[in-house]
Amino acid sequence: MADMGAKTGAGTGAAAEGPGGGRRARGPKTAYHHGDLRNALIDAATGLARDGGPEAIVLRAAARRVGVSPTAAYRHFAGQGDLLHAVKELGQRRLTESMEAAAALAPPDSGPRAAEERVRAIGRGYLAFARKEPGLYRVAFCRDPLTVNSLDGAIEPGDEDTWGFRSFGILVQALDSLVESGGMAPYRRTGAELTAWATVHGLAMLFLDGPLSQLTEDETDAVAERAFDLLIAGFTAP
């Protein structure tokens, strides 16, 4: 009932009384069903992230978007860092889904060529998410007080607690498959996931915030494909 009180109080109308008894417009309101305020706040904070990245995620601003009081919001999130972490998990989930969707387009067989194409495909999915959702992508990799600092357990599927590192786990599995298919020599495997991750993440940031942000879409695709060519050539060299 606490949320209902917040909803039927200061947060329900499209406007509120301003100085002198006038009416002032509210910010955009995110509708929510009673009992689902936590998800509504995450949705609102995701919208803030899309507009301004991690710095835009403010608990009071999310509450204002939903149309509830800050007090109601604090019943679901201990503070700013808690909300940021929730949006970060959502960003990692969306990144993982983009990588998995791209990987599903790779050839289904188990030969070395198919394994190479899977590595390339998940790289495309990674960059596609960064380019489509730049604000949410930045949140997915920002620092927050609740982030686990270890990649242990990253590749266990089906465990919601590992969503934060599932994107890394997909890469690990793809490179393991490259070795198993005979495409990569086992001695090259150590640390290969960090090399690949750094390459693709670096590309994403150059596309978003660096000098490569001025490229056309076709030019961006060409740069990405060339980077994938060189990365895979190094992994699969005799």
Which residues lie across from 24 on neighbouring strands?
A: 16
In the three-class reduction of DSSP (H, G, I as helix; E, B as strand; rest coil), residue 21 is classed as helix
In the three-class reduction of DSSP (H, G, I as helix; E, B as strand; rest coil), residue 112 is classed as helix
Which pLDDT score is estimated for 108?
A: 81
- Higher per-residue pLDDT: 83 or 9: 83
- State the pLDDT confidence band at 23, using cuts at 50, 70 and 90: very low
Same domain, 189 and 214: yes
Q: Domain containing 40: what range? A: 2-77
Quote the number of domains for the chain: 2
- Higher per-residue pLDDT: 24 or 150: 150
**What's the average model confidence in pLDDT over 10-35?**
44
Which pLDDT score is estimated for 208?
A: 96
**What distance in Å separates the CA atoms of residue 64 and residue 116, rounded to the nearest whole number?**
48
**82 falls within a domain:** no
**What distance in Å separates the CA atoms of residue 58 and residue 51, rounded to the nearest whole number?**
12
**What distance in Å separates the CA atoms of residue 95 and residue 165, rounded to the nearest whole number?**
10
Which pLDDT score is estimated for 78?
A: 85
**What's the average model confidence in pLDDT over 180-209?**
95
**83 falls within a domain:** no
φ/ψ region of 95 (left if φ > 0, alpha if ψ in -120 to 50, else beta) reads alpha
Same domain, 105 and 73: no
- Higher per-residue pLDDT: 30 or 222: 222
Which pLDDT score is estimated for 163?
A: 46
**What's the average model confidence in pLDDT over 131-138?**
95
**DSSP percent split of the chain into helix, strand, coil, nearest 5:** 65, 5, 30
**What's the average model confidence in pLDDT over 180-193?**
95
Same domain, 30 and 95: no
Which pLDDT score is estimated for 22?
A: 44
- Higher per-residue pLDDT: 164 or 95: 95
- State the pLDDT confidence band at 19, using cuts at 50, 70 and 90: very low
Contact at 8 Å (CB) between 38 and 76? yes
**36 falls within a domain:** yes
Same domain, 177 and 114: yes
**What distance in Å separates the CA atoms of residue 123 and residue 228, rounded to the nearest whole number?**
8
- State the pLDDT confidence band at 144, using cuts at 50, 70 and 90: confident
Q: Which of 54, 77, 100 is the last residue of a domain?
A: 77
Residue keyed to tokens 């498959």: 177
Same domain, 115 and 61: no
Same domain, 130 and 215: yes
**What distance in Å separates the CA atoms of residue 136 and residue 151, rounded to the nearest whole number?**
21
Contacts 24+ apart (CB under 8 A), 67-72: 67/7, 67/11, 67/12, 67/26, 67/29, 67/30, 68/3, 68/6, 68/7, 68/11, 68/37, 69/6, 69/9, 69/10, 69/11, 71/6, 72/2, 72/3, 72/5, 72/6, 72/7, 72/11, 72/37
Same domain, 60 and 99: no
Residue 34, pLDDT > 80, answer: no
